[in-house]
Amino acid sequence: MSLIKQQDRTRSQESSAAIERMYITMRHLFNRGFYKPMGVSGETLREALLILRPEIYGTIAEEKVELNGLLYVIDRLPEGIEECRYINLTSDEGYKNSHFKPIVPPKRRRNCYRIDDEQMNIEITRGRSEIYDILTHLTFLFVESHKIMKRVVINEEGHTTRDWQKLEKAVLAEESLSQQDREIALTHTANILGRTFHEVSTIYSKFSAPSNEKRFLKLVYWLGKRAIEEIVENEKRLVTFSPVLRERLGHHIHGEVWADNIKKELESKDLLRRPIHIISANMHSVMNTLFAPVALAKEMAKKDNLEIYETLSNAGSGKLRSRVEKTAQQNGMIFIPDQSGTNIDVQIFDTAKLDLDQNNFCSKTEYPKGKEPVIIVMDYAFGEQAYETMEELLKPYEDKRKTVHLDVKSVSIMGKAGILEGGKGDIMIPSAHLFEGTADNYPFENQLKKEDLEGHGISVFDGAMITVLGTSLQNRDILRFFYESTWNVIGLEMEGAHYQKAIQAAAKLRGSISDEVKVRYAYYASDNPLETGSTLASGGLGTTGVKPTYLITEQILEQIFKD
């Protein structure tokens, strides 16, 4: 038993060291300004990733190509990136005013621009965490591309296998593939990837897009083609960081503009001096909780709240969602679409205009005129961006004539997180955030308690949570160590420590807000990285996340209206 524990500890130490090396290396490469991912300069990143073997990247350390990890990554990178030899990470440098059409990845809100056949520009507006995310995904992508290359190149002259030639013919054909031709191409692709025909047939449709049916075949082909060019023709792929990005990073440029826009809107609507409650959540749960009972009164009469929330979350319920949004705007909701580059939209709810007799949350307290709460809902931040945006939002509002300190009564954070005990859809109530890779820890008095959310058929866990440097770098060895040790860790997420650092600084040190500000943190599980088949790469939550989302939202609102 002691030998097994020693081996587990050694593996967790190796994994922890690999993460540390990756982040030190990525910072070094950023300061340098460029690197070749499959060259000498990218070797440390590749080696560390192969030692780490993150759960999200599946079989990265094996010879066969990882399919689910490839799908996860490609949904977070711009379409066509596999065709590009030059990838340039930039700041917001004016491309939105050019003829270049922005490419937005399905699972990441970032603007990307295809400059020419060989170059892709990716705008970085969300801080270092976004850079870490992209570089990690690119490293995985290029490692997989060299697996393809090794399976199809048969000599030093660059001659390729028959399977590769058949795949190339299918990809470069302009016409759509018949079922017979597609299955022939998939047969050759399966040989190239070291996978079964069943595996590649199953994954093919998951990659397909309405305008790009052959996306999977094209992805495999271009990854292999660029890797072949690197080895045979020495045409190395290159990642660069623009001078403007290197100069601006860490200056809170986007966060400052974002926060100023919110405060100016509050000032223009005479809301700046009212009690303020900040909620970090999605853009639908608070609005739906407050206004769906009224906007959809007929539908709600036949269904319970949860059923109508599930209906609203369906892609085909656009008309119902529009009715809820229209009702919300007629009753005090102000929507501020992001124009700062943070990709964080905002809703402001003036509760003085809530005239909703059917709503359970509005009759809890009678407020003096001018003291009705104002609720600011900000969309999810990304990693370290949470510190930038929260710090800027909590600063006093200043113009040429005056300085106004915001009367922030509470800050509530609701989000998705990985869980270490339990499964998808379960709820976590943290008592502290531990910042991975450092000795930093942030205990706090969470106003949300385990018992507040129990009794609804969902498991609820409380304890510490790790704020990780990137979800794509987690592996079982590190997580099992935190879970089984005296740290009592229940889950992992990317923003908690950053939010708490900003809140504590504003309340306890800088005096920007009251030191009696209340904090609420609750997360629902999007995955369990300790369970095979339950990682983020295994797919989304579907409607599993609806019930915990609204349970948490209702509890946050109930506490706000009782304060």
Helices then strands (H, E): number in the chain? 19, 17
**pTM of structure:** 0.85
Report pLDDT digits (tens) over 67-83: 999 999 999 999 999 99
Report d(CA 247, CA 31) in Å as an integer: 10
pLDDT value of position 3: 45
3-class SS string, 337-382: CCCCCCCCCEEEEEHHHCCCCCCCCCCCCCCCCCCCCEEEEECCCC
pLDDT value of position 302: 78
Indicate the Cα dihedral angle 345, 350, 355, 358, nearest 10°: 50
Neighbours of 135 (CB within 10 A): 25
Report pLDDT digits (tens) over 391-427: 999 999 998 778 999 999 999 999 999 999 888 899 9
Least confident of 3-7, 14-18, 36-40, 430-434: 3-7
Least confident of 128-132, 255-259, 278-282, 552-556: 128-132
Whether pLDDT at 557 is above 90: yes
pLDDT value of position 183: 95
Q: What is the mean pLDDT of the segment spanning 479-486?
A: 81
Whether pLDDT at 534 is above 80: no
Report the run of H or E that residue 45 belongs to, with start and end. helix 43-52
Q: What is the mean pLDDT of the segment spanning 283-302?
A: 88
Q: For the chain, what is the mean pLDDT? A: 89
The answer to whether 496 and 454 are in contact (CB under 8 A) is: no
Position 15 confidence tier, pLDDT thresholds 50, 70, 90: confident
What percentage of residues in the chain have a pLDDT greater than 70? 94
Position 543 confidence tier, pLDDT thresholds 50, 70, 90: low
**Domain limits of the chain?**
11-246, 250-562
Does domain 250-562 bear CATH number 3.40.50.1580?
Answer: yes
**Residue 417, strand partner residues:** 525
152 or 301, higher pLDDT: 152
Q: What is the mean pLDDT of the segment spanning 527-551?
A: 71
Handedness of CA 13, 19, 20, 25 (dihedral sign): positive
Report d(CA 171, CA 31) in Å as an integer: 38
Tokens of 530: 């300790």
